[in-house]
Amino acid sequence: MDCTFDIKSDVGLVRQRNEDMAAAIPEKGIFLLADGMGGHAAGDLASRVAIETVLAYLTEPKIPGRPRARKEKLLRAVAAANQAVQLAGHYSGQQGMGTTLVCLWVGARQVDLVHVGDSRAYRFRAGALEQVTSDHTVLRYLLEEGEVEPGSPEAKQVGHILTQAIGLEHVLEPEVLRLNYRPGDIFLLCSDGLSDMVNDETIAHIITETCSNYEEASQALVQAALDAGGIDNVTVVLAGRS
């Protein structure tokens, strides 16, 4: 599996520490991003533990009972990460820490995705950008139910209150997707430090202008978030088949 990718992360212009984390194993087509929850204790620890746990589950050669199907592997990896973050919080005295998580697994003809929270995955195809994950937030629920209007004071008040997160004490319901892959597809994983600050039209324009150079594209995306105010950590992962 030959994948081209680049990862960029920046603490932003307001925060004192970076609670985002991203990682990749390009030879296996695996790419991950986590955004530790800033309103909870030790978000940076939560994101690191989640990433490390998922990577270990997906790549360690001997894990008893690991299923063969990618969907089940991803679901069990997320469950393992959820337990690991809870345990890390207990042993570190940082109960209540949590993180979002999005994991992309690129295959020869398809792409598998699992996500929890509001870190996003997009697919860029033939000049068009499509958000392929749905935010696990109160705002999304209220918008779908027609109880608030986009951009209204009520919508801004609930903001990004998560309905799902790794490490918290609730019933975890990760979303798993399988997408077809076409040559030339580019996948973008990002924390809300990008998606809150830069609209989809601008993201698509940046990728269109720089898609021949993933490093240039990812840096331009991060810079756009900083230019828009940089009020949060911003992390992007760009990945595609070589």
pLDDT digits (tens, 9 = 90+) for 118-167: 999 999 999 999 999 999 988 766 756 556 666 666 556 666 789 999 99
Q: Is the pLDDT of residue 81 over 70?
A: yes
Helices (H), 5-69: 43-59
pLDDT of residue 108: 87
Strand partners, 99: 36, 166
User: Is residue 227 classed exposed, middle or buried when 0-12, 13-18 and 19+ CB atoms within 10 A define those classes?
Assistant: exposed
Contact indicator for 97, 42 with CB cutoff of 8 Å = yes
Contact indicator for 178, 104 with CB cutoff of 8 Å = no
User: Is residue 153 classed exposed, middle or buried when 0-12, 13-18 and 19+ CB atoms within 10 A define those classes?
Assistant: exposed
pLDDT of residue 137: 87
What's the whole-number mean pLDDT along residues 41-65? 91
What's the whole-number mean pLDDT along residues 211-232? 96
Task: Return the minimum-mean-pLDDT range out of 34-43, 87-96, 174-183.
Answer: 34-43
The angle, 0 to 180 degrees and rounded to 10, between the axes of the packed helices 200-210 and 214-227 is 150
Q: Is the pLDDT of residue 21 over 90?
A: yes
Output the domain CATH number for residue 232: 3.60.40.10
Paired tokens of 10: 């920046």
Domain total of the chain: 1
Has this prediction a pTM greater than 0.85?
A: yes
% residues pLDDT > 90 (the chain): 74
Helices (H), the chain: 43-59, 70-92, 138-144, 153-158, 192-195, 200-210, 214-227
Paired tokens of 237: 């992962």
pLDDT of residue 65: 83
Range of the structural domain that residue 123 is part of: 3-241
Instruction: Write the DSSP string, 179-219.
Output: EE--TT-EEEEE-HHHHTTS-HHHHHHHHHHHTT-HHHHHH
